[in-house]
A and B are shown apart, each in its own frame.
Chain A
Amino acid sequence: MMLPFNLEPLSDSRYFISNLAGFHRVVARETLELLAEQGDGVLDAGIKQDLARGLFLADSSAGEEAGVAALASGYARRLTRDLAFRPTFMIVPTLRCDHTCRYCQVSRAALGAAHSDYDLDARRIPQVIDLIARLGTAPYKLEIQGGEPLVRFDLVQAIYDEAEARLGATDFEVVITTSLSLLDDTILDWARGRRVVFSTSVDGTEVVHNRNRILPGDNAYQRVKRGIRAIQRQLGPDRVAAVTTVTKDLLAHPEALIEASQELGLTELFVRPVSPYGFAQKSGTGTYSFDDYMAFYDRLLSLIIAHEAAGGQLLSEYSGKIHLQRVFQPDFNGYADLKSPSGFLLDCVLINYDGKVFGSDEARMLQRVNPELDLSCGTVDHFDPAANPVYHKILKESLNAVHPGCEQCAYQPFCGTDPCQGISEQGEPVGDKSRSAFCQYHKRMFSYLIDRYYRDPEARSVMESWCHA
Chain B
Amino acid sequence: MREAIRQDVFAVPEANLVPAGCWVLRKTLPTTPDTWLNTLLVTGNGTDASSSNAGDICTIHSPELFDSIEDGDVGLVNGRGSVRVILSRRANHNTVLVTERCDNRCLFCSQPPKDRNDDELLMQAAAAIISFAGNDVIGVSGGEPLLYGDAFLRFLEIVQTHAPETGLHVLSNGRAFADRYFARAVAERLESPVVFGIPLYAALAEVHDTLVGAAGAHADTVRGLINAGNAGIPIELRIIPTQKNLQELVPLLELALRCFSGLQQVSVMNLEPTGWARANWGQLYCDPSLYADQLTSMVRQAEAAGLPIALFNYPLCHLPDTLHPWAVQSISDWKNYYPDTCSGCTMRPECGGFFSSSQGQFHQSPRIIS
* Residue from A21, A52, A63 within 8 A of B259 (CB atoms): A21
Residue contact B219 to A65, C-beta cutoff 8 Å: yes
Interface centre among B220, B230, B255, B306, by most chain A C-beta atoms within 10 angstroms, is: B255
Would you call A73 an interface residue if the criterion is a C-beta within 8 Å of the partner chain's C-beta atoms? yes
Q: Mark B205-242, 1 if CB is under 8 A from A, else 0.
A: 11000000000101110110010011000000000000
Residue contact B222 to A331, C-beta cutoff 8 Å: no
Residue contact A330 to B226, C-beta cutoff 8 Å: no
| Given A21-B258, A70-B226, A53 contacting B216 (CB threshold 8 A) | no
A83 → B minimal CB distance (Å): 14
Q: Which residues of B contact A70 (CB under 8 A)?
A: 222, 226, 255, 259
B204 → A minimal CB distance (Å): 6
Q: How far is the CA of A96 from the CA of B241 in the complex (A)?
A: 62
Q: How far is the CA of A81 from the CA of B129 in the complex (A)?
A: 38
User: Nearest residue in A to B203 (C-beta to C-beta)?
Assistant: A53
Would you call A204 an interface residue if the criterion is a C-beta within 8 Å of the partner chain's C-beta atoms? no
Residue contact B260 to A331, C-beta cutoff 8 Å: no
Q: How far is the CA of A467 from the CA of B305 in the complex (A)?
A: 12
Q: How far is the CA of A329 from the CA of B254 in the complex (A)?
A: 9
Q: Mark A320-332, 1 if CB is under 8 A from B, else 0.
A: 0000000001111
Q: Which residues of A contact B223 (CB under 8 A)?
A: 65-66, 69
Q: Write 14 A-B pairs (CB below 8 A) sorted by A numbering.
A: A49-B204, A53-B248, A54-B251, A59-B206, A62-B219, A66-B220, A70-B226, A73-B259, A73-B260, A73-B261, A74-B259, A330-B258, A330-B305, A331-B305
Residue contact B226 to A73, C-beta cutoff 8 Å: yes
B251 → A minimal CB distance (Å): 4
Q: Which residues of B contact A76 (CB under 8 A)?
A: 230
Would you call A147 an interface residue if the criterion is a C-beta within 8 Å of the partner chain's C-beta atoms? no
Q: Mark B92-120, 1 if CB is under 8 A from A, else 0.
A: 00000000000000000000000000000
Q: Mark A42-74, 1 if CB is under 8 A from B, else 0.
A: 000000010011110011101101100111011
Q: How far is the CA of A332 from the CA of B219 in the complex (A)?
A: 27
Would you call A77 an interface residue if the criterion is a C-beta within 8 Å of the partner chain's C-beta atoms? yes
Residue contact A329 to B226, C-beta cutoff 8 Å: no
From residue 315 to 364 of chain A, which have CB atoms closer than 8 A to chain B? 329-332
Q: Which residues of A contact B230 (CB under 8 A)?
A: 73, 76
Would you call A23 an interface residue if the criterion is a C-beta within 8 Å of the partner chain's C-beta atoms? yes
Would you call B257 an interface residue if the criterion is a C-beta within 8 Å of the partner chain's C-beta atoms? yes
* Residue from A23, A66, A71 within 8 A of B219 (CB atoms): A66
Q: How far is the CA of A355 from the CA of B285 in the complex (A)?
A: 66
From residue 56 to 105 of chain A, which have CB atoms closer than 8 A to chain B? 58-60, 62-63, 65-66, 69-71, 73-74, 76-77
User: Nearest residue in A to B178 (C-beta to C-beta)?
Assistant: A66
Residue contact B259 to A77, C-beta cutoff 8 Å: yes
Q: Which residues of A contact B306 (CB under 8 A)?
A: 331
Q: How far is the CA of A468 from the CA of B203 in the complex (A)?
A: 24
A139 → B minimal CB distance (Å): 14
Q: How far is the CA of A22 from the CA of B259 in the complex (A)?
A: 9
Q: Which residues of A contact B248 (CB under 8 A)?
A: 53
Residue contact A69 to B203, C-beta cutoff 8 Å: no
Q: Which residues of B contact A66 (CB under 8 A)?
A: 205, 218-220, 222-223
Q: Which residues of B contact A74 (CB under 8 A)?
A: 258-259
Q: How far is the CA of A23 from the CA of B254 in the complex (A)?
A: 8
User: Nearest residue in B to A50 (C-beta to C-beta)?
Assistant: B251
User: Nearest residue in A to B222 (C-beta to C-beta)?
Assistant: A66
Q: How far is the CA of A18 from the CA of B204 in the complex (A)?
A: 18
Residue contact B251 to A53, C-beta cutoff 8 Å: yes
Residue contact A59 to B205, C-beta cutoff 8 Å: yes
Q: Which residues of A contact B257 (CB under 8 A)?
A: 330-331
Q: Which residues of B contact A49 (CB under 8 A)?
A: 204
Would you call B162 an interface residue if the criterion is a C-beta within 8 Å of the partner chain's C-beta atoms? no
A351 → B minimal CB distance (Å): 29
| Given A53-B251, A65-B219, A330-B305, A60 contacting B226 (CB threshold 8 A) | no
A437 → B minimal CB distance (Å): 30
Residue contact B222 to A22, C-beta cutoff 8 Å: no
Would you call B300 an interface residue if the criterion is a C-beta within 8 Å of the partner chain's C-beta atoms? yes
Residue contact A69 to B222, C-beta cutoff 8 Å: yes
A24 → B minimal CB distance (Å): 10
Residue contact B226 to A23, C-beta cutoff 8 Å: no
